[in-house]
Amino acid sequence: MINDNEQYISLSTQKKDGSFVDTPVWFAQEGSTNIYVVYSQRNSGKVKRIRNFPDVKIVGCNFHGKPKGKSFNGKASLVKNQELEKLAYKFLRKKYGIKFLIGDFFAYIVRNYNRRQIIRIQVSLNTND
């Protein structure tokens, strides 16, 4: 499992041609489960790719996306349930604290807050490495 102390994971989503696109993202683990949550803009490429291909790969990484450790396969889903969305934001706000609150503030100002999409990733306990 990826340690929740990591600041970023690289989320790899599949394109129609079968190749993967790696994107470093903030994440939070749902308690001690093998479920991770991230958020993105609803119209982003990663959200569109997950809609078509829910199989993803994740690995802990730095700010620039350089992998740290072993990668894991997972199944991503786009959250439409308001309670799961609230839970995801709770975990993200707890983990990132003031940085996340500042992001929320600016998202409200530029009217992007309601354009966010929560992504839940259920990770397989088998590594790719």
Q: Which CATH number fits domain 8-127: 2.30.110.10, 3.40.50.300, 1.20.1370.20, 2.60.120.380?
A: 2.30.110.10
Cα separation, 112 vs 97, in Å, equals 19
pLDDT tens digits, 72-98: 999 999 999 999 999 999 999 999 999
Please say whether the dihedral angle defined by the alpha carbons of residues 22, 24, 26 and 28, taken in this order, is positive or negative: positive
Cα separation, 79 vs 102, in Å, equals 23
Cα separation, 21 vs 25, in Å, equals 12
Q: What is the pLDDT confidence band of residue 128, given thresholds at 50, 70 and 90?
A: low
Cross-strand partners of 22: 12
pLDDT tens digits, 24-41: 999 999 988 999 999 999
Cross-strand partners of 95: none
Q: What is the pLDDT confidence band of residue 102, given thresholds at 50, 70 and 90?
A: confident
Q: Which residues contact 12 (CB under 8 A, 6 or more apart)?
A: 20, 21, 22, 23, 56, 57, 58, 59, 71
Cross-strand partners of 13: 21, 56
Cα separation, 10 vs 23, in Å, equals 5
